[in-house]
Amino acid sequence: MARQQWADDDQLMAALAGAFRAERDVPPAFIEAAKAAFTWHSIDAELAALTFDSDTGAMAAAVRSEEASPRLVTFTATDLIIELEIGRDEIIGQIVPPQPGHVDACPASGASLTASIDGIGCFIIRPLPESPFRLHCHATSGVSVLTTWITL
């Protein structure tokens, strides 16, 4: 580390070289992926916050010791709660209050899977979407809710 006097031409040049080197070091694909993330901005849905995850927090160690038990995750929005059981091959979900509709499982890149939500608010997504992914629930009541990202 050296003190840079920007009044000094040589030192300013060194700072410029460093600034452009820092930019050059970034792989183009790293930039492109970041730019592509903006497609999620246009989705018109309320964001549902993660309110419970059996895989993190105090429960995590206990739950993880039992390999067979599915991971339980809850997302909460103003008018809708989404409860998920993430198993090895599928996701079983339910929305509360129970109502029909459909749900899109959207990976960060690639095509989404759609599953119908039955009259008591239940749905099954199979196979597991590519990680990370998020769910977009469309209830027939008109409620449109998007979960935060889920990584498997």
Partner 1 sequence: MEKVPGLGSARRMRGIPTPAARLRPTPGEGGTEMSDDSSVPTLVARAQDGDKQAWDAIVERYAPLIWAICRRYRLDRPDADDVGQSVWLRLVDQLPLIRDPAALPGWIATTTRRECGRLVSAPRRREVLGYAQDVAEMPDPSPGAADAEVLVAERNAVLREAVRQLPPRCQELIGLLIADPPVPYADISGKLRIPVGSIGPTRARCLERLRRYPAMAALISAGAFTAEVN
H helix or E strand, kind and range, residue 8? none
Instruction: Write down the least CB distance from residue 69 to partner 1, Å.
Output: 14
Question: What are 122's strand-pairing partners?
Answer: 94
**Nearer Cβ to partner 1 (73/125):** 73
Residue 137: DSSP 8-state: E
Residues interacting with partner 1, by CB under 8 A?
1-7, 9, 12-27, 29-31, 33-35, 37-38, 40-42, 47, 49-50, 53, 55-56, 71, 73, 108, 131-132, 148-152
**Nearer Cβ to partner 1 (43/120):** 43
Instruction: Write down the least CB distance from residue 87 to partner 1, Å.
Output: 13
Edge to edge, the sheet with strand 71-76 lists 113-117, 101-107, 133-139, 144-147, 46-53, 71-76, 81-86, 91-96, 122-125
Instruction: Write down the least CB distance from residue 152 to partner 1, Å.
Output: 5
Instruction: Write down the least CB distance from residue 140 to partner 1, Å.
Output: 25
**Three-class SS of residue 16?**
helix
Strand boundaries in 60-132, DSSP class E:
71-76, 81-86, 91-96, 101-107, 113-117, 122-125
**Nearer Cβ to partner 1 (109/116):** 109
**Nearer Cβ to partner 1 (41/119):** 41
